[in-house]
Structure 1
Amino acid sequence: MKSRLMTASAVGAWALLAGGAWAADAPIATAPADAPTAVEAVVVTGEKTNRSVQDTVTSVAVTTAATIEREQIRSFYDLVAKTANMSETYGKSGFTIRGVANNNVSGGGTSGLATVYVDGAAIPERAMYGGPLDMWDVGQVEIFRGPQSTLQGRNALAGAVIIRTTDPTFDWNFNSQVAFASGDDRSIGLAGGGPIVDDQLAFRLAFHDRQADGFIYNTVQKRDDDAVDTRSYRGKLLLTPTALEGFKAIATYSRNENRSGYLYTYARTDTPDYYDHRVSTTDSPNTSDITTDIANLELSQSLGDRFTLSGALSWSKVDLAQRYDVDLTPARLSYGGQDEVVKTTSQELRLNYDGERFKGVVGLYHAKRDADRKSASLTNVPFPTATLVSVLTSTLTGGGVPLATAQAQANAFAALYVAALPVIPVDYSSDAPEIVTTTALFADGSFDLTPKLSLLAGFRYDHEENEQESRQTAVFAGTYPTPASFGPYASYVVLVNNFVASMVAQAGASSPGATRKFDAFLPKLGVKYAWTDDLSTSFVVQRGYRSGGSTVNAARASVVPYDQEFTWNYELSLRSYLPQWGLTANANAYYVDWTDQQVIVNLGLNTYDYQVENAGTSHLYGFEVELNQRLSSKASWWASLGHTRTKFDEFRVGTGSDIRDLSGSEFPYAPHWTFAVGGDYRWDNGLVANLNANYRAKAFTEAGGEQDGRIADARTLVNGRFGYETDRWGANWGAYVFAKNLLNEKYKQYGRDDVPVALLGEPRILGVTLETRW
């Protein structure tokens, strides 16, 4: 026993020092019968098979329905805040995993790097703000850190998030919740169901409605800029007919309607006490209206003791309309809007095998995403002074004027002209439809070479066809300078006016559709060694992938192709369980080498003359560690620690003399450290308490040489929930008070230099909830 305790202590110390990532409900190993506390198993499903956390070598943070309730987790972004090596980007518009944003790290690319799946449907990146991400009646959330390209495909280079709502059961049960919180936030949730036909057909219905005024008041429009009005409806059916032994089907339909402020809702920073009295002064609407429909059908059939055949059919539609004020001032100078409809269908067929020595899955996948994107705006383009000087100098020297004289005249005239026309107002509209079709063959499995040593292997062959076109209009919406007011430079004015007109006209041209095809082979290979039944280590190498595509250069009205990007990922994991202490200690350490990175490159014509090119290489490394302990039937605690370092090895943007070398800069929103800790206690008299806190180090908000001045503040958020529970009148009742950001930490997520505004972190939120179950 003494040697076993010493071994356990050494393992725990190694985990804390070398660490990798904790699941909030990571306990999956089963404790011995004589253990002081029992650890409930948690099953991970996101890797196309069912296995415990302790048998999952991928770094995964699992949050169950019990944790969602205990910690008053209201949205997906509450999970982002508490998960090791995760961070929000630009408010609640996206997230990073290990420093890699779900959409991109350098502005390049149109496909995602980490995808959120809700009941099997992939949520488009643009719906990460205002999509179906509330946590009411959610059964489990699995956050996979590290590439999931082998099993998930094109949009999972950084990781994947699997959100699973509560499934029907053959026992009657109902839940209800009413909540009131700061910001005039009020919500109601109802969920329940039971058998229609005993042991064969069951249903579950869920409804959630939330309205809130928010915290930012628009003094010009006399309205709340960040108000929220959202509701969701969901119905599920479970079928297990006795006539078909081993058959199971789950059908889901859900609808989420969200009306809120624009995803970037800024507050003025030039007003007194702007953290406590948040105002905006925009004259144009800043609104977002997103409706998401999801239908999913999952089928499975057991084929004897070893084989299971399963399939999933999914359809989703995201309808998005956004309006925004570009200049962020009371003057009506620049504004815009975008409308987007994304329809996605997917089909997947899998065959799982669960043998004595070999366990694995092989599958076929096909998906089609049809996106119709339209935008319109009145945009003030900063005058490209350098381009004007270059063009005018070239024209003068071509006419025989000496170079030095030409440059002097060009600069003198440019100063006068730009003073008269500092920005170029453009009435712009675009229509850029895109169709992406993906077909893939994948396999993943493990083979026990010995009772302790296992070989891990997998692959994915992915074929994609990407069709995209661009239709644009651009009209000069201002007044050209008149030649008469420029004296000796009058002849130049006509020339430059024509130059401006041609530049605007160029932006208004259309480009024909183009189809690009991509093929990728994504291997995975690793080993796992089980030192004991409760301790294992593994090492895995796999290839990550993001597909190529085409980007629209708005200034030149052209569709520009770019190629795929790839990563090689090296990951070491530790899984340990100490039954005598009821403690799980899990860790992952990783190194990633990223090549052919898709980055934004400006070609110099003006600020809108940019496109995506494969011009970057980078690397990142770090670790996650997660602890979870059940001290007794009354008390438990958990902790997580994450460390990430990111670096662009090569990142050159611009052309000619206007090249900026951003090599050496870090990824945006990639904090070096994240830490979280929490605990629960339940008294015999019905009182319950939860207290948790999470820390995120400061992070840069942009890539490049100016990073030092573009920082998202470090912050520590303390949250808590305290209440009373009782079992009376045939139901379980609970009344609670809760707090988010209890200490009222004040921090910025992003700040602007051109206008005194910023994205501010949420202030202290206090609330009460009333819940019942029967």
Structure 2
Amino acid sequence: MTAEPVAPIEPSDVGEIIVTGEKSNRTVQNTPASVAVTTSETITEQNLLSAYDVLERTPNLAVNGSRTTFSIRGIGAFNVSGSGDGVLASVYLDGAVLPRTALSAGPLDLYDISQIEVFRGPQSTVQGRNALAGAVVIRTADPSYDWTGRVRLLMTDKDGQRRAGVAIGGPIVDGQVAFRLAGEIARSDGLVYNATRHEDADRRAAETLRAKLLLTPDALPGLRIVATYMHDRHRRGTNWTQFDGGYTLGDRVTTEDAPDVLTVKSNIGTLDVSYDLGRGLTLSSVTNYSDIGSLNTYDQDRNATPGQEGRIVDPSKTFQQELRLNVKRSWVQGLIGAYYLRDDNRDYFFQARQLLGLRRLGVDQVLLGMGLPQSAVDAVLNLYGGAVPISNNLAQPRLTTNYAGFADLTFPLTSRLRLTAGLRYDHESQNRGATQSVVIAAPLPNPAIVPTALGPIVTQLNALLEATAAAATTAQAVRTVTYQAWLPKAGVTYDVARDVSLSLTAQRGYRAGGSGLNQQRGAYYEYNPEYTWNYELALRSQWLDRKLTMNANVYYIDWRDQQVSVQLTPGSAFDTQVINAGKSRLYGAELELSGRPTRRLNLFMGAGYSNTRFENPSSSAGALFQFVPGNEFASAPHWTLSGGATWQHPTGFFANLNANYRSAFYQDIVDQSYRDIHGRTLVNAKIGWQGKNFGAFVVASNIFNVTKATQSFVDLDGRTRGVVTEPRILGLSFEGKF
């Protein structure tokens, strides 16, 4: 009996979600990559305000407590061992890649956003650099030739949040030119109180303005141009709080004598041009320029002791150009492209005045090595107060150039079987330098007036400290390091039945190497790229006349030449550098279900399991600073679950209830005696009335007022500090649309 051909679902099918992050528009059901898509409808229904709200509800994603980074499948967006320079997961906004500072206080608010796609697993073949763990792709709402608009006013209680947003768009020349303007202003008093300065510690402010222009001229049928400009400013204070010293988690108190404030200003312009050449060929060009700068001023010791302050200036000017030829023929579908990036970070500057702990410098180990008993070592360190005051200035100019060629093509072999092949050649060069000045900022103990037995030791120690400061003062000339990589991808998809398919994919992930400065020795060093091989099995299925969707991915990752820190002097936290010595393996799965049992009720559920483990290092150069074979990655919970329901009655009554769970995890990759961050479940709701053009709602987050630490650490002063889950917050949201 001849098998009946099974046609893949086309993007034109009603109700199908289109995935754009792989740069070749496909439905979710035709995308083997593990991708979670959050639409504008979901953003509105669940009152999601930030991209981090989306990430917290996504299986196998974990957000850190301060909402400055995240992990995908247990892999931190920046690193997993405190090492390396390039990020491991990138965030794209309308095609513009955001620098890491923008993830702390950047343009991640969700007002007038069209869609967010979270890719789990390497996207190196299509996205290139800094996508070893995955990618987050955010797309704002495009103009249309219908007049549309929306407005929102949001007020909440405990954090004093106030938001006002408006968006409007429509035709300028009907069928040929359209526009869209969107803007939002947000203010918040925050939840943390500074007991030293007697003021709110985490006040927040944001302004976003976005303008988009759509052109589809009649004179050139098939041409589509979308121009976007966005200006954004975010300012946030600290949310670190005291966990001891008379304070509890629920007190949400900090004691810094200087304010901790991070300000990020973003100006991003994008020109997206596509031209339909006919016969299944489309030529696209995406040009982007971003100017994103941050200023962070903070208290070095995070307590009431004055005189220790830091300042970081981190500007990034990025130009990107990508050209693509998309192909959609009967015998092949996919794309061929070329990419260029220039990332200018040459004005990075760090300045600090701080007390440098002598034990962190390894001085106690040096004195013990001289044959001194512990009592004498303690007596000597006490003469210095256990620390030496220093003034530190560091400039680290960096200019990165990246170009690549890539292809990602799918070939139908039979009516049921499709083969996917991809390849990227990636070339990256970095021009990097460093200038550091370290000065001892106060007189050292006078050997002539200390106890006689300790005088010679103090003389030696003073000379050692002065020599260490002199060695750390350096001016490293700008050097060029170059890396290149071939990033293949291969996969096969088989349509088991209509609306049911299985895919098997293997692809290589990549993070470029880099260089750095050993701060204690003032020495320059380089390290090489690191690679992963990712093997993935995907199920895409729809059931009950497409009323139920069930998708799943199972993966295994082999990580080699991992960038890890080594400690060259035992006990010294500053005599470290990065080498390629690590090995890891990861495996896990994601499952996502969504269904509409009735016209009025939508249900969704997601689950993620991740298992991470460091393996034996491949090098013994120096003592591993943050690496223990057999241990798990930090901030890598085994289980993440989410689910919820949305119900809307014809009379306008609306209700959404959703919850997300994250299991316990380790914060450290060395000390894993117990999982120091406990599991937690957060329940949220939005209930109200939605008419044709107006809605009024009560919103609630953390309904059961769960109070748990989401980050914690023992600080330099011996106090425990961290971040706590936000308390139960109630609010009112008024929304209009036409």
Q: Normalising by structure 1, what TM-score? A: 0.91
Distance 1:572 1:385, change over 3 A: closer
- In structure 2, how many angstroms separate the alpha carbons of the residues matched to 1:215 and 1:389? 40
Q: For the residues of structure 2 that align with 1:694 and 1:67, how far apart are their CA atoms?
A: 15
Counterpart of 2:574 in structure 1 is 608
Identify the residue that residue 537 of structure 1 maps to in structure 2.
502
Deviation at 1:393, TM superposition (A): 7.7
Local SS of the residue matching 1:586: strand
Identify the residue that residue 690 of structure 2 maps to in structure 1: 725
The equivalent position to 1:228 in structure 2, one of 180, 204, 208, is 204
Alignment of 1:279-678 (within 5 A): 279-371=253-345, 372-384=347-359, 387-388=362-363, 407-408=371-372, 413-421=376-384, 422-484=386-448, 485-580=450-545, 582-604=547-569, 606-651=572-617, 662-678=628-644
Shift of 1:660: 7.5
Of the candidates 147, 150, 174, which is equivalent to residue 198 of structure 1? 174
- Where do 5+ consecutive residues of structure 2 fail to align? 1-8
Question: How far, CA to CA, are the matches of 2:472 and 2:619 in structure 1?
Answer: 21
Structure 2 letter corresponding to 1:720: A
1:760 offset after TM fit, Å?
Answer: 1.0
Identity of aligned residues (%): 38
> Residue 700 of structure 1 aligns with which residue?
666
Verify the 8 A CA contact 2:113 2:141 in the aligned structure 1. yes
> Residues 270 and 288 of structure 2 are in contact (CA less than 8 Å); yes or no, is this contact kept in structure 1?
yes
Who is 1:16 aligned against? Answer: none
1:57-115 per-position Cα deviation (integer Å, ceiling 9, x unaligned)? 00000011000000101101111111000001242010001000111111111101000
Partners of 1:710 and 1:750 within 8 A in 2: no
Do 1:746 and 1:761's aligned partners in 2 also have CA atoms closer than 8 Å?
yes
Q: Which residue of 2 aligns with 1:59?
A: 34
1:178 equivalent in alignment to 2:141: no
**1:105–1:668 CA contact under 8 A, matched in 2:** yes
Contact 2:340 2:403 in 1 (8 A): yes
2:49 to 71, 74, 77: 74
Quick one: structure 1 residues 259 and 393, their matched pair in 2 at CA, closer, same or farther if it must change by over 3 Å? closer
Which structure has more relative contact order (CA 8 Å, sep 6+)? It is: 1
Residue type of the alignment partner of 2:442? G
2:724 pairs with one of 760, 763, 767: 760
1:686-697 paired onto structure 2 within 5 Å: 686-697=652-663
Equivalent residues of 1:468, 1:513 under 8 A apart? yes
| Distance 1:616-1:658 versus aligned 2 partners, 3 A rule | closer
* DSSP 3-state at the match of 1:499: helix
1:737: which partner in 2? 698
1: CA distance, partners of 2:381 / 2:68: 36
DSSP-derived class of the 1:475 partner:
strand
Equivalent position amino acid for 1:639 in 2:
M
Distance 1:555 1:133 in 2: 37
- Please state whether the residue corresponding to 1:768 is helix, strand or coil: strand
Aligned residues: 723
Partner secondary structure for residue 22 of structure 2: coil
Contact 2:11 2:18 survives alignment (8 Å): no
TM-score, normalised by the number of residues in structure 2: 0.95
Task: Pick from 749, 752, 755 the counterpart of residue 710 of structure 2.
Answer: 749
Q: Is the 8 A contact 1:381 1:607 kept in 2?
A: no
Distance in 1 between residues matched to 2:302 and 2:652, nearest whole Å: 51
Q: Aligned partners of 1:147 and 1:333: how far apart in 2?
A: 45
* 1:597, distance to aligned residue in structure 2 (A): 0.5
SS at match of 1:504: helix
Deviation at 1:379, TM superposition (A): 2.3
User: What is the rounded CA distance, in whole Å, between the counterparts of 1:698 and 1:528 in structure 2?
Assistant: 36
Moved more, 373-382 or 47-56: 373-382
CA deviation map 1:125-149 (0-9, x unaligned):
1210111000000000000000000
Letter in 2 for 1:469: G
Contact 1:315/1:345 (CA < 8 Å) preserved in 2? yes
State the alpha-carbon separation in 2 of the partners of residues 661 and 180 from structure 1. 45
Check 1:309–1:268 CA distance in 2 against 1; reply closer, same or farther (3 A cut): same
Deviations 1:281-333 (A, max 9, x none): 11011111110111000000001131000010001111100011121211115
Structure 1 regions of 5+ residues with no counterpart? 1-26, 32-38, 395-405
Q: 2:724 is aligned with what amino acid?
A: L
Partner Cα distance (1:688, 1:203) in 2: 31
Alignment check: 8 A CA contact 2:557 2:587 kept: yes
1:255 matched to 2:231? The reply is yes
CA contact 2:564–2:626 (8 Å) conserved in 1: no
Say if 1:602 and 1:653, in contact at 8 Å, map to a contact too: no
Deviates more, 1:345-354 or 1:475-484: 475-484
**Against the structure 1 CA distance between its residues 186 and 651, is the aligned structure 2 distance closer, same or farther, given a 3 Å change threshold?**
farther
- Does the Cα contact within 8 Å between 2:101 and 2:264 map onto a contact in 1? no
Is the 8 Å Cα contact of residues 89 and 101 (structure 1) preserved in structure 2? no
Letter in 1 for 2:378: A
Which deviates the most, 279-288 or 653-662?
653-662
Q: Distance in 1 between matches of 2:619 and 2:440?
A: 28
The AA in structure 2 aligned to 1:457 is: A
Q: Report SS of the residue matched to 1:407.
A: coil
